[in-house]
Amino acid sequence: MRIGVLAESRPGERRVALPPEAVSALCAADHAVVVQSGAGRHLYATDDDYRAAGAEIADSAELIAAQAELLAVVNPPEPSVIAAMPSGASLLGLLNPFQEAQAILALREQGVSAYALELVPRISRAQSVDALSSQALVAGYRAALVGAELLPRFFPLFMTAAGTIPPARVLVLGAGLAGLQAIATARRLGAVVSGYDVRAAAADEVRSLGASFVELNLETQEGAGGYARSQSADFAERQHAALAPFVADADVVITTASIPGRAAPLLVTEEMVAGMRPGSVVVDLAAQSGGNCALSKPGETGVFNGVSVWGGADVPSQLPVHASKLYGANVSAFIALLKAGDAADEILAGSRVTEGGRFVHEGVRKALAPDEAEPAPAVAAEPEGAPEPEPATERATGGEPRPGSGPEAVAASEPGTDRPDQPEQGE
Tell me which of 115, 196, 227, 327 is the catalytic residue.
227
Q: What is the DSSP letter of 150?
A: H
Q: Which residue is catalytic, options 130, 197, 251, 421?
A: 130
Respond yes or no: is residue 229 known to be catalytic. no
Helix (H, G, I), strand (E, B) or coil at 35: strand
Instruction: Please indicate whether residue 239 is annotated as part of the active site.
Output: no
Which is the catalytic residue, given 90, 110, 127, 425? 127
One of 110, 133, 221, 332 is an active-site residue; which one? 133
Burial class (CB in 10 A: 0-12, 13-18, 19+), 215: exposed
Q: Is 133 a known active-site residue?
A: yes
Backbone angles phi, psi at 190, to 5 degrees: 100, 5
**Catalytic hit among 122, 142, 365, 402:** 122
Instruction: Answer yes or no: 227 catalytic.
Output: yes
What Å distances lie between residue 323 and 18, 200, 314, CA to CA? 11, 30, 11
Q: What is the CA radius of gyration of the chain?
A: 23
Q: What are the residues whose beta carbons fall under 8 Å from the beta carbon of 232, sequence distance 6 or more?
A: none
Q: 291-304 burial, b if ≥16 CB within 10 A, otherwise e? A: bbbbbbbbeeeeeb
SS (H, E, C) 230-253: CCCHHHHHHHHHHHHHHHHHCCEE
Q: Which helix (H) or strand (E) holds 173?
A: strand 169-173
CA distances from 122 to 119, 348, 420 (A): 9, 12, 10
Identify whether 2 is a catalytic site residue: no
Q: Which residues are catalytic?
A: 122, 127, 130, 133, 227
